[in-house]
Amino acid sequence: MNRYALLVQYDGTRFNGWQFQDKGRAIQVEFENAVKILTKEEVRVIASGRTDSGVHAIGQVVHFDLSKEIPLQRLCIGLNGILDHELAVKNAYKVDLDFHSRFSAVQREYLYMIYRYPLRTPFMRYKAMWINYPINIDYIQRAASMLVGEHDFASFCKKISAKNGTIREIDSIDVSEDSNIIKLRFRANGFLHNMIRIIVGTILQMHSEAKDPEYITEILKKKDRSLSGFTAPPYGLYLNRVIYDPALNFYESAF
């Protein structure tokens, strides 16, 4: 068998998320069908993480196995010629058979995008959360910094996440702004279901209620989802980067 990894991107607006669904379009199915058309082989395409409905990816990583070898550039160009315009392959790698897009990952990086301007724009529709009121960037950074480190994030996830434990370690949260776009960059070894979106929504709600940034630590300690804020919309969230050791560029690549 030959194992291939792909660096892929997608606009998740019109999809019901990565994983196969009984109803609606699944990104996983689109990639599996494209590989089948190109290679004439049935494959299971496994992603580094199952992005939810409406969530986008800039640097998603997937892998699959083929019985035959295929040139990496042909794999990229061929799949891009088959896939819908909302999906794209950015690079392909010939990886070891023990490489796993999900379990070999050592870190994941997500971006949450907020468009801050008094008036809406069509170019940010389903691409960023829009807020039309003033917000203090330093406030967001200060509140977010309280969550860096290993904590029980039961207050910041869907209840279904609790089945496998709610302790996670966030390595960093960085906040920046450029051209009216606020970017929150989260990096960790793993995240709970809706964790980033609930953190963003909680900080924005705290800001609007004029709570002290340190109040977020009280929410964290209580381990109660009902005490945190709203869940920010999915279309502001992007899977930006998946980090491996060795890095993907260690392997033979198409480009």
Report the pLDDT averaged over residues 24-46.
Answer: 96
Report the pLDDT averaged over residues 8-29.
Answer: 91
Residue 161 has a pLDDT of 64
pLDDT band at 162; cut points 50, 70, 90: low
Q: How far apart are CA 232 and CA 164, in angstroms?
A: 23
How far is C-alpha 4 from the chain's CA centre? 21
Answering whether pTM is above 0.85, one says: yes
Q: How far apart are CA 83 and CA 189, in angstroms?
A: 30
- pLDDT tens-digit map of 104-118: 999 999 999 999 999
Q: What is the sign of the dihedral through the CA atoms of 139, 144, 149 and 155?
A: positive
The domains found in the chain, sorted by start residue, are 2-103 (3.30.70.580), 108-240 (3.30.70.660)
Residue 5 has a pLDDT of 98
Catalytic residue among 52, 65, 84, 174: 52
Residue 212 annotated among the catalytic residues of the structure: no
158 pLDDT exceeds 90?
Answer: no
